Structure 1
């Protein structure tokens, strides 16, 4: 039997790059999130046919190359980033003949608050969908509106500190992290607004402005204040219920390569995630 072709590499290398200058409330950030696949061909056949790994580069090493190139190319678009990774792989490993690097980009649109672009808050392109529900019996009915899978993030001005610490605790405190979530939200109407569409837009805009414009001590802290602001802004509301997974972007450890991640390069994780839920009423 003959090995007709062979390739290998690393898939689903999810990397978030954060570019920009300044610190604190007005810090300007650009975010680029890619799902990268890097595949190699070359002098690798013996790993398949002879159980000989002596010419094979670890796929974990390929992942590390992607992250190092990410730190060195914070602003590069997807095409230039893929080219930079491919060039680095071929320059680093003489036994490789080709490097095929592809990427899918999660597009983030800069959030506008009061018509002005926010410096470090974003919503996902093609974001979520609206929901409505009516529960009715012979005595009357209740109407709820909401959004599902509405995804947004802020690239700074968020922290997690002062929590319970015991022998099971491993996560370190931080005062500067990415806060991101895909929100399931419903708000129940005490009475009908004059215009459901306009009122729903006001609820969402109000909550996003609170998220973007204020420091987040936790997702819990932000959700309560977002819901409270929505109730204050729209008097026809009775309750606001929010369920938000804490979508984690974890800083990549680049110290082994002589680089500091410096809250600029992150890996995205979906599971496990924090699940934060609350209902706020009058």
Structure 2
């Protein structure tokens, strides 16, 4: 193999403060509200000297980013998590000179009020709302992308699903079926065509559409279910450019009770958590605006 002789240079890079656990209590009235967030910042810009010469003059410390995240929780978190993320990203790009692009990733952990008590909640879950906001450039070159979503939405249907007619090879032992339990822990992320949207109403609507389609569809495969869920979302929300879904197949195998002389009429299953099939599906519009940096690799929070 011939040796490579090209000059060694710095490649793409970014840095930020990961997983800031921000809890905001709203005390404007005697009936308090709570927001529980996990926030990650990630900045790109002219940071070459920091890497190649150890020169930190252009580097905003990650501790400063943490302080900003908490300060903005007090001053800019009255709306949706997308509004909060946009405010943070715009600040880093507009007010911190060396920064050319900022990405804010947010996990929003839900809490449920105990009865009608004004200041007590229980943590619900495991479903988590997510958002990833990217702002880059200034003036005529300014671009902004919002990717909202959810993760760990566990759903199961006890019938209405099959899997048959699949390709077989010498190692295939799976039996086809037209009636099986279909369960998954859904991750869904949808990209907005612009940043003028009703974030909270859209989140609730997308979630409802996906669950309705999952329940109603006579599924021939998990892949088909995911595509139909994505298509239903884009049909219902014309200002969404695309949706990406990830779903493990949480297998439920009929447990053998014959050895005990007990009939099993599709009622008792063994839930097997691994290994599992894992599906990734993107459903998009042919005329959707450029995704730009919207789908940059997630840094860990969302």
The structure in which a higher percent of residues are strand is 1
Kindly indicate whether residue 262 of structure 2 is the aligned counterpart of residue 250 of structure 1.
no
Task: Name the SS of the counterpart of 2:214 in structure 1.
Answer: helix
Q: CA deviation at 1:214?
A: 1.4
SS at match of 1:273: coil
Is 1:166 aligned to residue 182 of structure 2?
Answer: no
Number of the residue aligned with 1:131: 130
Using the size of structure 1 for normalisation, the TM-score is: 0.54
- Residues in 2 aligned to 1:165 and 1:144: alpha-carbon distance in whole angstroms: 38
1:194 Cα deviation from its structure 2 partner? 3.8
Maintained 8 Å contact 1:158/1:178:
yes
**Preserved contact between residue 244 and residue 283 of structure 2 (Cα < 8 Å):** yes
Q: Does structure 2 conserve the Cα–Cα contact (< 8 Å) formed by 1:142 and 1:189?
A: yes
CA apart distance, 1:126: 2.7
What's the CA shift for 1:181?
0.4
- CA–CA distance in structure 2, aligned partners of residues 194 and 237 of structure 1: 10
Displacement, 1:269?
1.0
CA distance in 1, matches of 2:228, 2:254: 27
Q: 1:231 and 1:193, CA in 2 relative to 1: closer, same or farther beyond 3 A?
A: farther
* Counterpart for residue 272 of structure 2: 269
User: How far 1:193 moved relative to its partner?
Assistant: 5.0
Equivalent residue, structure 1, for 2:160:
157
Larger RCO (CA under 8 A, 6+ residues apart): 1
SS of the counterpart of 1:263? coil
Runs of 4+ displaced beyond 4 Å: none
CA displacement, residues 250-277 of structure 1 (integer Å, 9 cap, x when unaligned): 1001111222222100011111000011
**Structure-1 separation of matches of 2:196 and 2:236:** 12
Shift of 1:218: 0.7
Structure 2 residue ranges without an equivalent (≥5):
1-123, 286-302
CA contact (8 A) 1:146 1:187 kept: yes
Instruction: Return the match for 1:175 from 174, 178, 186.
Output: 178
Structure 1 residue ranges without an equivalent (≥5) = 1-124
CA distance in 1, matches of 2:196, 2:128: 20
Q: Deviations over 1:38-58 (max 9, x none)?
A: xxxxxxxxxxxxxxxxxxxxx
Q: Distance in 2 between matches of 1:128 and 1:219?
A: 20
Q: Is the 8 A contact 2:147 2:192 kept in 1?
A: yes
| Partner SS state of residue 210, structure 1 | helix
CA distance in 1, matches of 2:196, 2:237: 9
Secondary structure at 1:244 match in 2: strand
Instruction: Provide the C-alpha distance between the structure 2 equivalents of 1:219 and 1:126, rounded to a whole number of angstroms.
Output: 23
The 1:156/1:141 distance shift into structure 2, 3 A limit, reads same
Cα distance between partner residues in 2 of 1:220 and 1:158: 12
2:212 to 209, 221, 230: 209
Q: Is the 8 A contact 2:145 2:195 kept in 1?
A: no
- Matched length: 158
Aligned pairs (5 A) from 1:1-282: 126-138=125-137, 139-282=142-285
Cα RMSD of the aligned pairs, angstroms, is 1.2
